[in-house]
Amino acid sequence: MKSLSNRLRAVPGWRWFPIATAVFWLAGAPLSMVSTASAADEPDLIFRRSTVFKFLTPNDKLATYGIDDPEVEGVACHFTVPEKGGVTGWLGLAEQVSDVSLACRQIAPIRFKSKMAQGDDMFRQSRSLFFKKMQIVRGCDAKRNVLVYMVYSDRLIDGSPKNSTSSVPVMPWGGSDTIQKCGDFISG
């Protein structure tokens, strides 16, 4: 029986195999240590639903997550993202598609924790091994006193025009009649 090294020699380009393996593991290890969330904490998984059956590997799924806005107390967002299954999805090598839906709502009295810029990141998550990320950004429609959230994905070279927007009117909550104006908390 042939040894592994003899079997590899029969494959064209076999000399590059150990080098490619080392580069893959050295490049992948630091990336796995990087947090995917930058603005907010990790989202809470609400549920997953299989959409495509894969034999002997994980199915393609839709996953719904919930996250609180870290800068605006009293606002929560839920988003649904497709998650690739199969071997590449299982290994974390699949590039995820850009279809993401978003819904944000007032869940308590709204209080702004600090000043923020229009289009600030509320949440950011990697959607591929390299370069592609999904972002939820926030802005303020000062005329209507409405917080506006948008989700989109981008890459280093080109992004995706696919996006979703959700609005949260700043309203009184419970017995409180005091309403903060989001325009007062926009900087620049």
Residue 145's Cβ-side half-sphere holds a number of Cα atoms within 13 Å equal to 9
Q: Report the alpha-carbon angle 98-103-107, nearest 5.
A: 145
Model confidence, pTM:
0.70
CA–CA separation, 136 and 102 (whole Å): 9
**Residue-level pLDDT at 140:** 96
Instruction: Give the residue extent of every domain in the chain.
Output: 1-34, 36-185
User: Closest Cα partner for 106 from 74, 146, 67, 65?
Assistant: 74
**Residue-level pLDDT at 187:** 85
CB-based contacts of 76, cutoff 8 Å, min separation 6: 66, 67, 68, 69, 104, 105, 107
Residues of the chain with pLDDT under 70: 1-40, 86-98, 127-131, 155-160, 188
User: Closest Cα partner for 135 from 174, 164, 176, 168?
Assistant: 164
Give residue 50's Cα distance to chain centre. Answer: 19
**Tens of pLDDT, residues 28-72:** 433 333 333 445 678 999 998 887 777 777 777 888 999 999 999
